[in-house]
Amino acid sequence: MKPRVIVILIVFALVAGGLFLFSHSHPVELASAPQPKKTKFETFATSRPVGTFPRPIAPVHASVREFKAKLGESFKFQYDQNGHLASVQTEGGKNQRAHADFDPQDPQKVIARAREILALAEGLIGVDARAPLQNPLAKGTAFGAGVSFHEAIGGIPVAPNGSVSIDLGAQGELKGLYSDYRPPVDVTNQFTMAPDDAKQRAIAAVNALPTGLRVEGGIQVVWFYGTDHGVEGRDAYEFWVHGVEVAVDAATGQILSQRDRRQR
């Protein structure tokens, strides 16, 4: 082989070897199309195993902090499925007392204290201005007191449920709060039936005999009535016939509800 050819082959080999070493020490990145940035939801969804879900978090906002700041830290909060406060129960710690002149057997002072607590809880309960809590009733002994408020629409109490009860200790400290308040609904009828006619409808519904008949109630209520289209309000009369609660539509006489409340 001629010397000139040998030299060319040697030079070619050296160049090829140099390129090989350079490519391995400086890998070339291939260009690719820019990837769209993942949204916060997509990042969360792909970072969790399939079939697992985050646990629901109870609503916590400024009202809870204010509640604890003024009444104490030793409380357990429970919420309903809509995120509204259903109950507050003391967990045994020292909570804020009422003023020194508080008397659990004085209805006015008991109701005043309960109103202070209710004002702190209304936002958590979800009280609507169209259905305020009214007509407080107080009961007390030397050891504590209880107050109940009832929801009303247009000044007429709602049923069933619609109450908030507050339990106080002997010094006005909060022991417990319980709520079955219901968001207001539209009322679809009016009181056109006479109370006596509604009473007869209630008696007939229970099949009560005239002898020894015991009928109580007859109060006007806004009855929360479930239909195929949701819940609506019905003006109604509420009776108790031999311990059976009967709600009668105040316009049509329809029996909206009949529940036996007797203890057996």
Is 42 in a helix, a strand, or coil? Answer: helix
166 compared with 96, residue with greater pLDDT: 166
Q: Which residue has the tokens 């906002």?
A: 61
Please check whether residue 75 is in contact with residue 68, taking contact to mean a CB–CB distance below 8 angstroms.
yes
pLDDT band with cut points at 50, 70 and 90 for residue 94: confident
pLDDT band with cut points at 50, 70 and 90 for residue 204: very high
The span from the CA of 89 to the CA of 86, in Å, is: 10
Asked if residue 219 and residue 168 are part of one domain, the reply reads no
Residue 20 has pLDDT above 60, yes or no: no
Asked if residue 68 and residue 164 are part of one domain, the reply reads yes
- Of the candidates 233, 235, 232, 231, the residue with the CA atom closest to the CA atom of residue 221: 235
Asked if residue 210 and residue 110 are part of one domain, the reply reads no
**CA 250 remoteness from chain centre:** 30
Residue pLDDT, tens place only, 134-148: 999 999 999 999 999
The answer to whether residue 233 is domain-embedded is yes
Residue pLDDT, tens place only, 43-64: 222 222 322 223 334 445 678 9
What is the Cα gyration radius of the chain? 36
Question: Domain boundary residue among 127, 146, 179?
Answer: 179
Question: Domain boundary residue among 154, 179, 204?
Answer: 179
Amino acid at 161: N
Helix (H) or strand (E) holding 222: strand 215-227
pLDDT, mean over the chain = 81
Question: Domain boundary residue among 153, 179, 205?
Answer: 179
pTM over cut 0.85: no
Per the structure, the complete domain to which residue 121 belongs is given by 62-179
The answer to whether residue 157 is domain-embedded is yes
The answer to whether residue 170 is domain-embedded is yes
Helix (H) or strand (E) holding 86: strand 85-90
Asked if residue 78 and residue 129 are part of one domain, the reply reads yes
Domain count across the chain: 2
112 compared with 264, residue with greater pLDDT: 112
Angle between helices 62-71 and 107-125 (to 10 degrees): 160
The answer to whether residue 40 is domain-embedded is no
The answer to whether residue 12 is domain-embedded is no
The answer to whether residue 117 is domain-embedded is yes
Asked if residue 170 and residue 66 are part of one domain, the reply reads yes
Beta bridge partners of 177: 88, 166
Q: So what's the pLDDT on residue 105?
A: 97
For residue 126 the two structure tokens come to 């979800």
Asked if residue 232 and residue 167 are part of one domain, the reply reads no
In the chain, count H helices and then E strands. 5, 11
The answer to whether residue 43 is domain-embedded is no
